[in-house]
Chains A and B, each alone.
Chain A
Amino acid sequence: MSNIAKAFANGKAFIPFITCGDPDIPTTEACIREMVRAGADLIELGIPFSDPTAEGPVIQGANIRALSGGVTTDKVFEMVIRLRADITVPMVFMTYANVVFSYGAEKFIGKCREIGIDGLILPDLPFEEKDEFLPLCRQNDVDLISLIAPTSDNRIAMIAKEAEGFIYLVSSLGVTGMRSQINTDLESIVKVIRANTKVPCAIGFGISTPEQAHKMAGISDGAIVGSAIIKILAEHGVSAPPLVGEYVKKMKDAVRR
């Protein structure tokens, strides 16, 4: 069983996201430890990018704070090494294609394996372009996570068939951010996914309340939450970690309810 599969082995998964280095690396590190304590099943670590075109204003803000705080890809790697000394919860990187490409894909993906990163989510790398990094990911046992969107239609089966790790199902049109309502017919999409793969499927984009998380995990294998966590960091900065822990606990309870 891959490390990512373990995240889904004991029931519905709660998957929190955090932008590394917002506002600084020690705060991110403390937040991740709180997330683990609160029962996070898989953690998405965002490596900041200057121009995150798939993000809404909340996560854009986190990227700017992190980069102006001086975080770099190498500093994120060092943080993961420290965390992996005692944390076994699966962790994946969420970043943009240029962060990987520019570091040197071979070096970056090799480093993922070396430090214990289990997967890679790149929102600007669709199915058609995945060969850019897939061979290197395979060599290094790093799952390249596929995204499926409300507009994927005839593409769902094709993407699902070749998916690895888990499928990131985007709940709504548009960019990341909290939404009061999610109106996409996700049940139908999940049905097509299930017919084409055994890889688990988690829903993200727009989820912030325990009710939403419960509902989304109900129709899939888990819920992914980013902006709502980043909002806690934006408001509380270095004193955010315990609050992030409380929030993750509440959400985890909701998905397992």
Chain B
Amino acid sequence: MTNQNGRFGIHGGQYIPETLMNAVIELENAYNHYKDDPDFNRELTDLFNDYAGRPSRLYFAKKMTEDLGDAKIYLKREDLNHTGSHKINNVLGQALLAHKMGKTRLIAETGAGQHGVATATAATLFGMECVVFMGEEDTKRQALNVYRMKLLGATVVPVKTGTATLKDAVSEAMREWTSRISDTHYCLGSVMGPHPFPTIVRDFQAVISREIKSQMLEAEGRLPDAVLACVGGGSNAMGSFYNFIEDKNVRLIGCEAAGRGVDTFETAATIATGRLGIFHGMKSYFCQDKYGQIAPVYSISAGLDYPGIGPEHAWLHDIGRAEYVPVTDDEAVQAFEYLSRMEGIIPAIESAHAVAHAMKIAPKMDKDQIIVITISGRGDKDVAAIARYRGEDIYE
């Protein structure tokens, strides 16, 4: 879907300092060299299967289906991957690539900490040094993941600039990369940033939709009617959508974090409230003011608390191939509790945004229709925050 300049329609591109240009060109050349290399792919598949525990299950949520009535609901269990989320797919791919490129140090940004934990894990596995940038605000609300990263041997740098959340962590990781390129790979965690990152991350995450497709054909003998996933930068959604883009009868629905509502300033719903801009290396939609100053976004979910969206999503939105819907904090927390009690599965608060939207549409669909919800991560990391949301102060 990427054209030669790394564009998805008008979106994408490489809006980065000259200092980084040769680094992204080197990365693109390395990726083009290895992406169809049988040895590289065999190694990656072994890592996926033996280390990360793939393929992840496609689980028929029988109780949820009966409770909501009508459409059949399946859950794609990325939460069961090693390190607890889909982030490991991309990270194993990029770490293997960086290793082949001779890099000895991985840096990464993280919001909820899931990408940071995955990167710290892969760095350990490959014997690489690891530095993770995390907004100071997020280090507080995701303290458990900060300690996990440290336990894995990574250095966690709390970022105090701006809103001290995910966008600031990305900016700081980019700054760090411009200061140290020769031995360092920037392991970007989502389908965003300058080309070739949106393509590389999508390709490594596309294993999700590849598996959904074959698992669904095996279970039901047909494709699903809708695939739902939460969207911040959009990597689990892009991975869940990618192999269905040509299957026009499959609705692709990205669930954005509306925070306290799209009519408030405390929101992170980019498609609902943003407009076209250039930031973090890409042209895409961003939450911003009339002068192009990036908005201080908000969501209960640290992983979706980002003012932009990956360029391929922006394009899928433009051409009407995917729908993007806002889901509020309240709806996500209710879905978090609902899935916990209904199916005994505690989802990440990010993934709960997709569950919430499924709860809205399933009752309006027919009994023979099928929905797949990608549960991008597990919710252990969120338990203390949800308790606080409900007025209960617990120790993590």
Contact = CB atoms under 8 A, between A and B. Distances in A.
Interface string A141-168: 0000001111111110001000000000
B161 interface: yes
A202 to B, nearest CB: 15
Nearest to A174: B179
A101 B277 contact: yes
A20 to B, nearest CB: 13
Contacts of A64: 161-162
A173 B167 contact: no
Contacts of B275: 102
Interface in A54-86: 54, 56-57, 60, 64, 67, 72-74
A151 B278 contact: no
Chain B interface mostly? mixed
Nearest to B279: A98
A96 B293 CA distance: 10
B19 A151 contact: yes
Contact of A60 (B13, B161, B276, B277): B161
Give the most central of B5, B19, B277, B288: most A CB within 10 Å.
Answer: B19
A150 B290 CA distance: 35
Nearest to B162: A51
A57 B17 CA distance: 17
Q: How large is the interface on A (under 10, 10 to 19, 20 to 34, 35 or more residues)?
A: 35 or more
A101 B175 CA distance: 22
B391 to A, nearest CB: 33
A174 B278 contact: no
Interface size class of B (residues with CB under 8 A): 35 or more
Interface stretch (A119-127, A225-233, A247-255): A119-127
Contacts of B13: 128-129
Contact of A72 (B14, B16, B288, B291): B291
B197 to A, nearest CB: 15
A126 B14 contact: yes
Interface in B208-261: none
B292 A129 contact: no
Interface in B17-39: 17-23
Nearest to A173: B179
Contacts of A155: 18, 21-22
A174 to B, nearest CB: 3
Contacts of A159: 18
Contacts of A174: 19, 175, 178-180
Contacts of B280: 53
A170 interface: yes
Interface string B158-183: 00011000011001001100111100
A118 to B, nearest CB: 21
Given A102-B291, A155-B22, A97 B15 contact: yes
B167 A51 contact: yes
B18 A127 contact: yes
Contact of B21 (A54, A67, A126): A126
A161 B192 CA distance: 31
B383 interface: no
B21 A51 contact: no
A163 B130 CA distance: 38
A50 interface: yes
A175 interface: yes
A49 B16 contact: no
Given A103-B292, A123-B17, A124-B15, 13 more contacts: A50-B162, A51-B167, A51-B279, A51-B294, A98-B279, A100-B292, A102-B288, A127-B18, A127-B21, A128-B5, A150-B19, A151-B21, A175-B175
20 contacts: A56-B175, A57-B161, A60-B161, A64-B162, A96-B278, A98-B286, A99-B291, A100-B292, A101-B292, A102-B277, A102-B290, A123-B17, A126-B17, A127-B21, A149-B19, A151-B20, A151-B181, A174-B178, A174-B179, A174-B180
Ranked 4 nearest A-B pairs via Cβ: A102-B292, A174-B179, A149-B19, A50-B293
